[in-house]
Structure 1
């Protein structure tokens, strides 16, 4: 029997930071939301820590059905709910897979210690309130998850909870090994695939292994997409990669964002991970789980990219200021 899914093709979510420029603190739990039925950001109808939130409703499917052993699920995070510290030996990646022989979803996000273990039910960590966070969730047919499983080789995720019923072992032998804690001695430095959502939308999936020792934005994404890009990632002061104009297509760091409500915040209050093409002639938006700082050059992870014009407009119009390259 096919899994009953929350009726969406895809959505993107932007959890807003607690502090805005020249304004009093917010709750740190509000978010903006854009799905396949909308043309721009909409405020979340509830707080992100509530089961009625967009991500809460999606994950309720996992919390409701994980005991039935009828579907595949995998929860991965380099900072899982059970750990006080991060693991740096595995991928800097965070996400959830849930699917059956019909379809399911891949949720990619930036929130440490999230989501809770299935037996604990849905919740949102207090540590995720201070900074901005990003997420993208897309529904795919079953055949696409065989391709996504291959991407997981490069992601080398820190899996903290999973289940792969025996009927899936032949199709998903690699995912089963990852679920059991096995790691592969060698994978390709990069792996790029095209994915098609259940509704027919096209996405590019960039998966970088630890053997690709470079900034994923400068060395791969911008050059592959053939466009200059503006990046928004967690960049602690004193531990950041500067804007880079050394290759054919340049990469610039976003420094300040302005929301549809005209509130603004600095990138130093944002833990989200995304980029957009600098010009609208090539309207790319990518959302994922790697940052532009030196330590991330040796980490695995990836991004999912789309040319959907509504997603591009939503993100690109938030860019208030980005940093130019320093002349040599």
Structure 2
């Protein structure tokens, strides 16, 4: 199977096997974990050239970002180990899974699809230049109905999936997408509360292409009740400036510094994440939309939590921002 991708922004793993074993997020040593985060470093870090495949790693036991001994295109790292569970022996009648990407290299790149990506462990050379963040969360099957609903809003460009008949009633939207259909939406956006296997609460914000607004300013900051510092790809001429017009403000991060130190500008970073400006609020979100006027009319979303480990790691990574 040849399934490579141009860019990888965020991985939300919701793959569960129904036969011999449960598919879980696996850490750097191949052990099950509730969640993990990878921050792939860009090639250029303040004009210092790197490999483009090195990454920082974070999970509940690590407490802060650590440089991985692996590289992102290796099957020995957390990402490769996790996805190998699916690719090494999946069967269409034993697992529910969906793989999607808005820009597969063999296909054209229409903007009608959500700005969302999902990938296997083969990391392409085209993904080396910019920084990326990847999120893996282990969910029980009980969370699949809500996840299925969120997928309908994202409108992902699915290229491989399996929804066996026994599960199609529970996750009808996912089944429709798998069949090449477009599920009907009741609203323009959807907010769902999810719980990981380990009991961590996550909030999924998903907007359709019909919700034409900056998701950070118009929705997430106001819903969470906190000012946000947002890291996104500030590369295009139509990037959105910091915005203080609503009760809760949104300000663009322009420089990132990870432990090491590993410092780079937002220009070199294709990740999308935000943290609450106030330490007391502890909000951290990872997603797949830039603060860009061209993406206001795209499907996409964010996964948010008040996990203190994740919040501290990302809040400390904010090395500079532009106020309104």
Q: Provide the residue aligned with 2:153 in structure 1.
A: 154
- The 3 A distance-change label for structure 1 pair 198 and 186 is closer
Larger mean Cα displacement after TM superposition, 261-270 or 66-75: 66-75
Matched, 1:273 2:292: no
Q: SS at the partner of 1:46? A: strand
| Contact 1:154/1:187 (<8 A) preserved | no
Using structure 1 for the length normalisation, give the TM-score.
Answer: 0.88
| Contact 1:44/1:54 (<8 A) preserved | no
| Contact 1:187/1:209 (<8 A) preserved | no
- Offset from partner CA, 1:68-93 (integer Å, 9 cap, x none): 6310110011112432x422011111
| CA distance in structure 2 between the aligned counterparts of 1:186 and 1:260, rounded to whole angstroms | 43
Q: Provide the residue aligned with 1:12 in structure 2.
A: 37
- Offset from partner CA, 1:2-49 (integer Å, 9 cap, x none): 4253311101110000001142x1100001111121211111120000
Q: SS at the partner of 1:238? A: coil
Q: Provide the residue aligned with 1:123 in structure 2.
A: 122
| CA distance in structure 2 between the aligned counterparts of 1:292 and 1:255, rounded to whole angstroms | 12
- Offset from partner CA, 1:153-173 (integer Å, 9 cap, x none): 111111011111122122222
| Contact 2:116/2:288 (<8 A) preserved | yes
| CA distance in structure 2 between the aligned counterparts of 1:155 and 1:168, rounded to whole angstroms | 21
Q: Provide the residue aligned with 1:38 in structure 2.
A: 62
Matched, 1:28 2:27: no
| CA distance in structure 2 between the aligned counterparts of 1:239 and 1:66, rounded to whole angstroms | 42
| CA distance in structure 1 between the aligned counterparts of 2:185 and 2:198, rounded to whole angstroms | 34
| CA distance in structure 2 between the aligned counterparts of 1:89 and 1:280, rounded to whole angstroms | 37
| Contact 2:37/2:134 (<8 A) preserved | yes
Aligned positions of 1:1-328 closer than 5 A? 1=19, 2-5=21-24, 6=26, 7-23=32-48, 25-67=49-91, 69-83=93-107, 85-95=108-118, 114-115=119-120, 122-325=121-324
Q: Provide the residue aligned with 2:9 in structure 1.
A: none
| CA distance in structure 1 between the aligned counterparts of 2:94 and 2:203, rounded to whole angstroms | 29
Q: SS at the partner of 2:139? A: strand
| CA distance in structure 2 between the aligned counterparts of 1:147 and 1:184, rounded to whole angstroms | 14
Using structure 2 for the length normalisation, give the TM-score.
Answer: 0.89
| CA distance in structure 2 between the aligned counterparts of 1:43 and 1:87, rounded to whole angstroms | 36
- Offset from partner CA, 1:276-319 (integer Å, 9 cap, x none): 00110101110011111011110011100011111111111111
| CA distance in structure 2 between the aligned counterparts of 1:180 and 1:4, rounded to whole angstroms | 23
Larger mean Cα displacement after TM superposition, 241-250 or 157-166: 157-166
Q: SS at the partner of 1:312? A: helix
Q: SS at the partner of 1:310? A: helix
Give unpaired runs (5+ residues) of structure 2: 1-18, 27-31
| CA distance in structure 2 between the aligned counterparts of 1:215 and 1:62, rounded to whole angstroms | 35
CA shift for structure 1 position 234: 1.2
- The 3 A distance-change label for structure 1 pair 248 and 189 is same
Q: How many matched pairs?
A: 299
